[in-house]
Structure 1
Amino acid sequence: MRTYYDVQQLLRQFGILIYMGNRLYDIEMSRIELKQVHESGLISTQEYLQAELVLRQEHSRELEYQEKMRKRNG
């Protein structure tokens, strides 16, 4: 698992589709749902940790991007 899209596809296997209209919120909700899927025993700890790492990286990138856009737009 390497991308946010991969994590979305993993969640989709369990009928979880997330769209909140803000990518940062989508990533945060994905982390919550991923944790629930793991705690339910539906994915392995390794899958969970890989997906969690991807989500942390994407969250960080999105925060940087939004901050950059805020500075650019005043």
Structure 2
Amino acid sequence: MQSIMDVRNLLKRFGTVIYTGDHVGDCELMLDELRELKELRMIDEETFRIAMMIVKSERNRIRLD
């Protein structure tokens, strides 16, 4: 997993599609969904860690623009 699209595809595998038109808001929703998937043990710790890093990096990049 290397990009925000990879994270979107991961979430899609679990039936979650996030698109609100607000990119920062989408990132926040993705972070919430990733936390829930980890809590339910549907994704492993490493997948969770990498996905969170990608989404947080994307969110921070957008906020700086």
**TM-score scaled to structure 1, two decimals?**
0.85
Larger Rg over CA atoms: 1
- RMSD over aligned Cα, in angstroms? 0.5
Aligned pairs, how many? Answer: 65
Identity of aligned residues (%): 29
Quick one: distance in 2 between partners of 1:11 and 1:38? 12
Gapped regions of structure 1 (runs ≥ 5)? 66-74
Q: Paired residue for 2:52?
A: 52
- Equivalent position of 2:23 in the other structure: 23
Cα drift, residue 52 of structure 1: 0.4
Residue deviations 1:8-38 (CA, integer Å, cap 9, x gap): 0000000000011111100110000111011
Identify the residue that residue 33 of structure 1 maps to in structure 2. 33
Which consecutive segments of 4 or more residues in structure 1 shift more than 6 A?
Answer: none
Gaps of 5+ in 2: none
Whole-angstrom CA distance in 1 between matches of 2:42 and 2:53: 18
